[in-house]
Amino acid sequence: MELSHLDEKGNARMVDVSDKDITKRIAIAGGFIYIRPDVLDAIQSGAIPKGDVLAVARVAGIQAAKRTSELVPLCHLLPVEQASVDFKFEKNGIEITAKVVTTGKTGIEMEALTVVSVAALTIYDMCKAADKSMRICGIRLLEKSGGRSGHYVRSEEKRTAKILAACVSEKKGTVKVNVGTIKLIEGYGVEGDAHAAPGKRQVSIISIESHKKLNAKGLDVKPGDFGENLTIEGFMPHELPVCTKLRIGDVELEVTQIGKECHAACAIKKQVGDCPMPREGIFAAVIKGGEVSVGQTVEVV
């Protein structure tokens, strides 16, 4: 892959755009900041001591658009002709969308991404006294137009998987038993499971492909043997980034951790000789609870 920001010797450079045409260029970017519901209510009601959170975040984002070339070393200095920031309240945070427009010789994507980033950081700064657990996720380019590369719209194809097993165990460090249907409790985990607790590792998930790799070596590995609550088929869950949302019917999960530290002395590793959970498993928090069963679809939101 040829990178335009590197010269023939591999040194960083600012791309020469002097021969490009001047065109109208538009970029739209998005991102999300997770915030506790009580802090969201305080933002909406104007109860945050520092003042109007979104008004300050909006101004900060617009200002950031005009300063992007000072923050990102190889960006060109562009005249920002229009910049806007919009906020949408969700149950567990705020969706941020930025639009930036210029007329010039190179794209303005970095400005739009910087707007979202700085707006999210400003929200964090305004609210950190009330909620230090806020997380900024999913900053991405949604759309751009103008220039040689033409019109781009982000394609977020739905990824789905099927639940093959829904498992629980009464003791930590042991294999789990497929019971067919499990109840997920918001902010807690799987009802009756030894690992259920508030925190980052409420529900564990792994693909059946991880089992198949060991079975191909002559082992007899079944769903639940790696200590997972959900065994799925359709995609490799460890390829999903942290903060990815998952939906199973009305149930909603959020990926909070990829893999974990391996406990060499655990019963799972002793039984099967290896445990791919630290490499290929994920953990998720329950955002909206309910029952999930074998045969249901897991959808990446």
Known catalytic residues are 125
* Contact predicate 276/213, CB 8 Å: yes
Compute CA 138 distance to the chain's CA centroid, rounded to the nearest angstrom: 5
Residues facing residue 88 across a β-bridge: 95
Beta strands in the chain (DSSP E): 23-34, 82-90, 93-104, 135-145, 152-153, 159-168, 177-178, 181-185, 189-190, 203-207, 230-233, 245-248, 251-258, 282-288, 290-293, 297-300
For 270, other C-beta atoms within 10 Å of its C-beta total: 11
How many Å apart are CA 238 and CA 81, to the nearest integer?
41
Among 252, 269, 251, residue whose Cα is nearest residue 260 = 269
